[in-house]
Structure formats: C-alpha cells, structure tokens
Structure 1
Amino acid sequence: MFKAMISIGLLSTSLMLTSTVSAHQAYILPLSDLPQGKQVLLHAGYTEDLFVPEFPLKAQYYRVNPQGQQQEIAPVTGLQSATLIELPLEQQGTYKIFALVEHSTNYVQQKGIWKAVYDMPASQAPAASERPYLLSSEVKDTDQKRVSKAYGQVVSYVSKGSPTSQVLTPSGKGLELKFDQHPNQLKQAEGLAFQVLFDGKPVANTGLHVEQAGGVHADAAEDTPDAVSDKDGKVQIQFKQLGQYLIKTSYPKTKTDEQPAADVYHYALTITVR
C-alpha cells in the first residue's frame, strides 16, 4: 500500500474517514470515556497506528449535552499532529462529541477501473504503478468522469457519573448506529449490538470494520468487512480483547475500483471495552 506523504493540505482536505491514497483513518478519542472532573480532553486526527495521530482532523466539532442540546465547540488550533478538544462537563450524564467532514473527489475510469484524481505535480508523486490514484495531468478527454461527495461523521461518547440515553437517540438523518447497549458500558463478554440506519431506516448487508488500538490501519482490508448487518440492519460484534476500538462503516458501499456513488456517507465511532 502506498504510504508516501503527499502534503498536509491534501491529507486534511481529501482524506475522509478512510483514505484512497494513504492508510490513514480519522478518529476522536477521549482520555477517559468515564471522566469525573469538570472537563475532559479529547484528541482527534488521522492515524495509521491506532490511535497515534499524524495529522489534525480539520472539521466542524459539536457536542450534545445530556439533555440533548447541541452546540458547536472550538478545538485547539495550531497543532501539527493532532486536534485537541476540551469538553466542559457541567452536568451529570452522557455527552456526544462528533466531527463533521465534507469533501468532493473527482474520479475517472481508465481501462475499466475507477480511480480518484488528485491535482498535484508529477514530480511529487510516485510512479503510476505504485499508486492507486491518478494525477489530473493523466486524465484524458475521453475518460468517463464522476464527482463523488463524501459526508463523514466521527463520533465518541463520554459519561460523567451514571450514563444516560438522551444523546443516543438517532436523529433520523444520514448514517447512524442505534445501540442496544450504552457505548460507555461495554463488557467484553457481552459484545456490542446495534442497528445500522440511514435516514432512520435499517440498512441491510452493510459491511463494518472493527480495529483495535495498537493495530495498524490497512486500506487493503477495506473490501473485507469484519461484520455485516442482517436484513433488519442489525449487527452483533464480539471483542477478542479489552481495550479501545474503532468501528466504521460507509453507505452506499462500493468496492475498490468500482464506480463511486454520487453521495457517500461515512461513520466512525471510538469505544472502550472493559
């Protein structure tokens, strides 16, 4: 897998939840998902070795308090390797913290294969045989073209005191997970059960990927899901070990090299299993 650095600007604008050009993954992770103080620090970024950030996650950040009230929050700026968010905890209960990212990517089809197109000098790119994308200078007038817009949501939950459920209620918009258990009360023996929803409706046969902290994110495994939703959109995940995990999914899902959808929705969640 090609892992050469293109530029921080390209990574921050063109990488979504998973990258088509480099094995990096977006995340938000609290220092503790069960904090007891007046605030908790979270770090967010693009990571290759979960959850060691390499680039900041440039996005719009929001929090939802235990009463369900949403407010935009401003992260610490100017850092080169990560984004830091200090979340005030004025009330007891569960908070949702999430980042929204949007970007558009140009694709073209050459020799029956669809590839993303990036605008960068050929002198800064590896040889064509060593990368899964095209340069704008390599696009031909006769190539079939398509623009795909991606909408990403990167999510984490923290609970001060007894966990509450208000922030877990699906909004009925976009790609979401409806949990059977509270994400701050996960036990290895019980696993995690949830339902995949899109605009409030169950999504069947959707692949999900589960990655544990300390592991290396690999784009090569993107076409091989760790779990698949059933006909009712329901999923049951078992965890082999205790620790922190990232769960992610996309809708609609297309395989590598296939024609991309006009609109693609991504969702990534960090959890702690005890």
Structure 2
Amino acid sequence: MKKSLIALALAGLSLVTLSAQAHKPYLLPSSTEVEPGRDGTAWVTVDAAVAENLFDPDFTLKLDGLVITAPDGSTLQPENVGNGKRRTTFDLKLAKPGTYKLALVSANVMGSYKDKEGNTKRFRATEETLSKEVPADATEVKVSRMQSRLETFVSTGTPDLNVFKPTGVGLEMVPVTHPTELRAGEQATWRFLVDGKPAANQGVSLTPGGVKYRGTLGEIRQTTNDKGELTLTLPAAGAYMVSTAWPNVARVEGQPPQMVPRRLSYSAVVEILPQ
C-alpha cells in the first residue's frame, strides 16, 4: 500500500480523495505574512512533502509543475532547492509587495483494460502517453481523468487579490476573505468553483497540523451553498490544510475508490494567526 502511495505522490497526484487519515501532499511556507529583512528584501522558505500526520513529512514531493505567480502576474523560480530524504525545501524571494501564489497542478489518466488473453491490466498515463499505454486491441477499457491543484499563499507588504483570478479549469478556490489575513475567532468566507462555475453542495475540510500530538484528526467539515461559498469561524492559530474533492464519491471500507470518468481535487495550506 505504501509503495503505491509513494508512486502517486511522485507522479504529482493529489491524494485528498483518499480518507482523511491518508497521506497528503503539501506546500508549507515558513510564514504566510513575511516582513522584509534588514536589506529590505523579504524571503520565505517552503517545505514540500507528503505526510500521513499532516506537516510531519514522510517522503519528498516532486516539484514538477510548480508555478509561482507574483503580484504583477510574472512567474518566479524557486531558489536554493534542497531534496532531502523526507522533504524538499526551497526559498522564494518576494521582491515586490503583494500576494504570491504557489501552485502545483497535475493532470493524469488512470484506468484498466482487458488484453487479448482476457487479463485485466491497469495503467497510469498522461493524455500524451495514453495511446501508448492502452493497446489498440484492448477491450473493456475504463478511463478516469484526474486533475489536482495544490496551493499555498504568502504576502509581503499589503496583501492583494491579483493572483486569485480563476483559470476556469478544474476545482479552484477563490477567496472572499484573503487567505493570508486569517485570525482565530474571526469569520472567513471562501468560494469554490468547478470549471469556473459555483461548486454547490461541495464538502470542504479544514484540518490542523500536529495530529500526532493530539491523537485526533481535529477536522472541521462544512458544505458550500448554492453560490459555492462557505463561511466558518476560524479555530485556534496554526497551520491548516483546506481540502475538497469532486465528485463526492462514497467509499466502501476495504475496497478501492470507485472509478469515475473525471475526478478533481483541491488543497491549500493556510495559516491562521492569533487574534
């Protein structure tokens, strides 16, 4: 089981469609509100890993497909990338005031077919390699397309909303309350979209890190309204993961997830500050 989870993580797939206790990939910034140093330059360090106990890394997360968007819309590159045994780290220079978005986006295809001898074969591919993975004489072909988006956000100076324009593809969060201005005890509103349209009746989880110290998951779960929005009172200060998956597919204990034609997932690391 663990080997298959590692393979999925290395492929850049989101695992939020698994149970709340399953391994989850994450991008965890050292801070979401960053003050410039003595030289006037702001820097943030980011951990990228996969963990069963949230933010307690089990193995590294590949950064293939990482896109860092600056407040002016330009794309930045991570600096000082270090690939460890259990996590990857990198630095990001915040040269301009505003909000930066770090997004790891992937699109993959999984499925199964029967070969000419009647044996069931499973495959994992991309749209470009799909034709090579499935023989022309295959029968009973089943395909599930998966799109995942993993994000986090950091601000320096005055936060802005420039980087939150939706792409209209997949499952996305459009903040009404800015995600780097969250404080314990206050209310926050977030809007979720599927292909640019409101994701109504969408179950969303907010899970704090540090589960190994609590012994309980501590997940807060809420459902969006017809506008794809939810409003919640923010819990205690700390780092949290927001996660959701579409469609909502019921799982049967001990059985693999039901294969649907298309699966979307979204997760983001946010920081709730003290009052």
TM-score class, shorter-chain normalisation, is 0.7 to 0.9
> Is it true that 1:245 corresponds to 2:240 in the alignment?
yes
Size of the aligned set, in residue pairs, is: 237
Distance 1:102 1:173, change over 3 A: closer
Moved more, 239-248 or 66-75: 66-75
> Is it true that 1:203 corresponds to 2:199 in the alignment?
yes
Question: Partners of 1:167 and 1:4 in 2: how far apart?
Answer: 35
Structure 2 gaps of 5+ residues are 114-120, 125-137
* Structure number with higher relative contact order (C-alpha < 8 Å, ≥ 6 residues apart): 1
Question: Partners of 1:237 and 1:213 in 2: how far apart?
Answer: 18
Q: Who is 1:16 aligned against?
A: 14
1:43 Cα offset (Å): 0.7
1:52 to 30, 39, 56: 56
Question: Partners of 1:24 and 1:244 in 2: how far apart?
Answer: 17
Distance 1:72 1:251, change over 3 A: farther
* 8 Å CA contact retained: 2:5, 2:23: no
Q: Who is 2:134 aligned against?
A: none
Distance 1:6 1:203, change over 3 A: closer
Structure 1 gaps of 5+ residues are 109-115, 120-140
Q: Secondary structure at the match of 1:49?
A: coil
Distance 1:75 1:242, change over 3 A: same
Deviations 1:200-233 (A, max 9, x none): 21011111111101126xxxx9xx9811111221
1:189 Cα offset (Å): 2.0
1:11 Cα offset (Å): 4.3
1:105 Cα offset (Å): 2.7
Q: Who is 2:100 aligned against?
A: 95
1:69 Cα offset (Å): 2.3
> Is it true that 1:181 corresponds to 2:177 in the alignment?
yes
1:92 Cα offset (Å): 1.0
Question: Partners of 1:272 and 1:107 in 2: how far apart?
Answer: 40
Q: Who is 1:85 aligned against?
A: 90
Whichever residue aligns with residue 161 of structure 2, its letter is S
Q: Secondary structure at the match of 2:185?
A: coil
Q: Who is 1:65 aligned against?
A: 70
* 8 Å CA contact retained: 1:42, 1:85: yes
Whichever residue aligns with residue 245 of structure 1, its letter is Y
Q: Secondary structure at the match of 1:76?
A: strand
TM-score by length of 2: 0.75
